[in-house]
Structure 1
Amino acid sequence: MISVILRNSLQKIFNRRCIRLVHQNHEPIEVKEAKDSCPVSSHNEWDPLEEVIVGRPEGACVPTFSIEVKANTNQKYWGFYETNGGEPFPQEHVKQAIAEVEEFCNILRHEGVVVRRPDILDWSEEYETPDFKANGLYAAMPRDILIVVGNEIIEAPMAWRSRFFEYRAYRSIIKDYFRKGAKWTTAPKPEMKDELYDKSYPIKSVEDRRVLAEQGKFVTTEFEPCFDAADFMRAGKDIFVQRSQVTNRMGIEWMRRHLGSEYKIHEISFNDPNPMHIDGTFNIIGPGLVISNPDRPCHQIDMFKKAGWKVVTAADPVMPDSHPLWMSSKWLSMNVLMLDEKRVLCDTNEIPTIKMFESLGIKPITVNLRYANSLGGGFHCWTTDVRRRGTLESYF
């Protein structure tokens, strides 16, 4: 009887823990048995956050002023790109951004979140493929290149040539997750030939771009799949995406086929002359709760209202015109990171946004991210949430 009890106890321990295997070279390998032991698991933007990747400003370089960069940047900064393309961003500004992001990481850790960081690489080095030459950009915005769906990390086939090798900064982290049981998928790497870009795309007139966007015409063509992960927004089994200057319909269709019938991909659009990344326009912050940019209204907003969702108009940003925003807009004020349904990370300076969250019964945890904003992103952009405590649900 004692031996039977002992055997059953050992079997339970065996089933709960990792099995230690030994190769012929006697090197131990851990194989995860329990499905809930995977370190990667995230289904939406608001479940309790447990682990996150935070980007790095170190070594950030101004991208070469090519057609896809020109189509996605504010005309007031074109001279900056023409003069500084291929060179580091202003170093004093980057130094301030580094300090801000370090404090951001410290606050995340204080709130009980595990923080992972990409490798520091030299982004100034020029590289060449058979189809183009470019220098790198940075590893500041993991949200652009990585999306987690369930226990799978997907690397996005981004559209900017300056971001072709950006994945290299994240590979050590992703390989670690893979060894611990996560799924890992890299979408088809685009060739980025000239055919991917509409060289005749009219980029001087905002109104022309607005008309073209409503017609579904952008600087990226349908030559091959491309998308930035930041054009997708997750709400359990429903995932929302916009066709943008960096995400084409082939990219959206690739994601739809890849994820299969368990998920529904909804393509939505906005009154936006220059769409690029959805979370400064439409940010889902809870089950059936979304912040909407009043300057870029959603054409399909009735679809959400009919489903019983609460649509909150974003508070006006207070970013001063004097502050440089080389790769973004003032609406990074709504680009926030939910720690859970009742806690949000937002910018210390954005008092109207802070009050908006308080009115919703959500506690703001504030951090100054102004210099980091200049490099192109807010809290959501600077992160990829790796693990949130929750299950796959339907909210739509």
Structure 2
Amino acid sequence: MHLNSFDEWSPLKEAVVGSALNYTSHERELSFDLFFHDNITRSEWYYPRLSVPGGTGSGGQKSGRVPIKQRYVDELNEDLEGMVQALEALGVKVLRPMALAPESTEVRTPAWSAAVVPPLNIRDNTLILGDEIIETPPMIRSRYFETQLLTKVFAEYFRQGARWSVMPRPLMTDASFDLSYAESATAGGPMEPIKDPQLSPYDVGFEMMFDGAQCLRLGRDLIVNVSTDNHALACDWLERHLEGRFRIHRVHRLSDSHIDSMVLALRPGTLLVRSKEVADFLPEALRSWDMIVPPAPGENQFPRYEDDDLILTSPFIDLNVLSVSPDTVLVNDACPELIRTLEQHKFTVVPVRHRHRRLFGGGFHCFTLDTVREGGPEEYLR
């Protein structure tokens, strides 16, 4: 089918589901700590900053790398296959990225090197707008070349007539990052500063860095979360690139980056939101939409982890649902309260298992890239 995806809820026909094959570790370096700072430094979990970047620890492990236990990866891959089966049972054609080769352990540029990760949260580094693929500038160094593992998928859509654009790639030296959000945010919990940026001969100042998951797609309208100068520069690029085709509405600091565990559009006129306060950040035209606020998640909805397991997301990650149609939603089967709430609002809920979402930084919306939906460039905010 031809690439066509304008919103978050129209009947889903084709989607890419991410891969976790050969996921071995996270690397604690500046871009990783900055991206996940709300949870690895501002929650009930506390992880001291790892020192001596590039050094070697016990067992030959690079000192910045935090290994992931293989059983978690195996169970994640089982859950991903369950998600694929659930989508196919609903009539969705599922595409997959190329698997990360086991020998590909590091990504390196002239300015830095980092441990590489597989293409799991594929919502992040790509934005689908109508008939266009836009590869976005990465925010985490380890994901710098991640979209290359989607090249087969993108090339086939391009052959069928899709547009294919790549936003400018940042150099990503320490000086490239706007640290103001991390330095000024007031979330509770122990705080470990993001500090000690190192000088580099490749410094050019702040650069555009931006994830597709910072966008809420509503036909011709795009709600974009902007929390740093990095985001703002990327939003400037999007406004110029999309002029005349899409309207961009900036919301400021709704979250540190991604919008899709704060607010999701389930169908025209209905939003799933973390709290009523989310409305205060949204454009006026969206504040009249119905807002579903589910009960807060309970501790019993998550596996218990060991002290050396790195928690990357808030307990609200399960709001990260995937709409298959305006009345059908994929939801984590560990969330009975959320399921009941959606059913009370006349949604058909498809429960799917996803155990380790807090370890791998994503839910069903994060793990998918919807490439073909039936909807078009409708006017929802007029």
For Structure 1 versus Structure 2, the TM-score category normalised by the shorter chain is 0.7 to 0.9
Q: CA deviation at 1:311?
A: 1.9
Aligned to 1:343: 328
Over 3 Å counting, the alpha-carbon distance change for 1:256 and 1:165 in structure 2 is: same
Residue 357 (structure 1) aligned to one of 333, 342, 366: 342
How many residues align? The count is 345
Instruction: Name the SS for the 1:171 alignment partner.
Output: helix
Deviates more, 1:245-254 or 1:78-87: 78-87
Instruction: Name the SS for the 1:374 alignment partner.
Output: helix
Instruction: Name the SS for the 2:209 alignment partner.
Output: coil
Q: CA deviation at 1:246?
A: 9.4
Q: Deviations over 1:298-321 (max 9, x none)?
A: 433471455x31122233223347
Instruction: Name the TM-score, length of structure 1 as normaliser.
Output: 0.80
Deviates more, 1:51-60 or 1:319-328: 319-328
Deviates more, 1:65-74 or 1:243-252: 243-252
Aligned-pair identity (%): 28
Structure 1 regions of 5+ residues with no counterpart? Answer: 1-37, 211-220
Please tell me whether the aligned partners of residues 61 and 89 of structure 1 are also in contact (alpha carbons under 8 angstroms).
Answer: yes
Aligned to 2:242: 259
Does 1 or 2 have the higher relative contact order (CA < 8 Å, sep 6+)? 2
Moved over 6 A (4+): 80-84
Please tell me whether the aligned partners of residues 317 and 357 of structure 2 are also in contact (alpha carbons under 8 angstroms).
Answer: no
Deviates more, 1:40-49 or 1:367-376: 367-376
Aligned to 1:78: 47
Aligned to 1:115: 94
Instruction: Name the SS for the 2:280 alignment partner.
Output: coil
Residue 104 (structure 1) aligned to one of 78, 83, 87: 83
Aligned to 2:27: 64
Aligned to 2:111: 131
Please tell me whether the aligned partners of residues 225 and 254 of structure 2 are also in contact (alpha carbons under 8 angstroms).
Answer: no
Over 3 Å counting, the alpha-carbon distance change for 1:153 and 1:270 in structure 2 is: same
Please tell me whether the aligned partners of residues 271 and 298 of structure 1 are also in contact (alpha carbons under 8 angstroms).
Answer: no
| 2-structure distance, mates of 1:173, 1:313 | 36
Q: Deviations over 1:318-348 (max 9, x none)?
A: 3347356622121111100000011000010
Please tell me whether the aligned partners of residues 62 and 81 of structure 1 are also in contact (alpha carbons under 8 angstroms).
Answer: no
Pair 1:226-2:209 in alignment: yes
Instruction: Name the SS for the 1:148 alignment partner.
Output: strand
Please tell me whether the aligned partners of residues 317 and 350 of structure 1 are also in contact (alpha carbons under 8 angstroms).
Answer: yes
Please tell me whether the aligned partners of residues 57 and 94 of structure 1 are also in contact (alpha carbons under 8 angstroms).
Answer: yes
Instruction: Name the SS for the 1:354 alignment partner.
Output: helix
Instruction: Name the SS for the 1:356 alignment partner.
Output: helix
Q: CA deviation at 1:244?
A: 3.5
Residue 157 (structure 2) aligned to one of 148, 153, 177: 177
Please tell me whether the aligned partners of residues 20 and 120 of structure 2 are also in contact (alpha carbons under 8 angstroms).
Answer: yes
Q: Deviations over 1:208-244 (max 9, x none)?
A: 899xxxxxxxxxx972222111101100011001113
Deviates more, 1:146-155 or 1:97-106: 146-155
Deviates more, 1:313-322 or 1:109-118: 313-322
| 2-structure distance, mates of 1:259, 1:92 | 44
Pair 1:49-2:34 in alignment: no
Q: CA deviation at 1:87?
A: 5.8
Q: CA deviation at 1:179?
A: 1.2
Please tell me whether the aligned partners of residues 317 and 331 of structure 1 are also in contact (alpha carbons under 8 angstroms).
Answer: yes
| 1-structure distance, mates of 2:147, 2:50 | 23
Please tell me whether the aligned partners of residues 28 and 66 of structure 2 are also in contact (alpha carbons under 8 angstroms).
Answer: no
| 2-structure distance, mates of 1:384, 1:56 | 12
Q: Which protein has the larger Cα radius of gyration, Structure 1 or Structure 2? A: 1
Structure 2 regions of 5+ residues with no counterpart? Answer: 52-56, 58-62, 190-203
Alignment map for 1:323-342 (pairs within 5 Å): 323=305, 326-342=311-327
| 2-structure distance, mates of 1:335, 1:141 | 12
Please tell me whether the aligned partners of residues 276 and 293 of structure 2 are also in contact (alpha carbons under 8 angstroms).
Answer: no
Over 3 Å counting, the alpha-carbon distance change for 1:268 and 1:108 in structure 2 is: same
| 2-structure distance, mates of 1:294, 1:157 | 30
Please tell me whether the aligned partners of residues 322 and 331 of structure 2 are also in contact (alpha carbons under 8 angstroms).
Answer: yes
Over 3 Å counting, the alpha-carbon distance change for 1:118 and 1:321 in structure 2 is: closer
Q: CA deviation at 1:77?
A: 5.4
Aligned to 1:288: 269
Instruction: Name the TM-score, length of structure 2 as normaliser.
Output: 0.83
| 1-structure distance, mates of 2:7, 2:232 | 23
1:379 corresponds to which letter in structure 2?
A: F
| 2-structure distance, mates of 1:309, 1:239 | 16
Over 3 Å counting, the alpha-carbon distance change for 1:269 and 1:356 in structure 2 is: farther
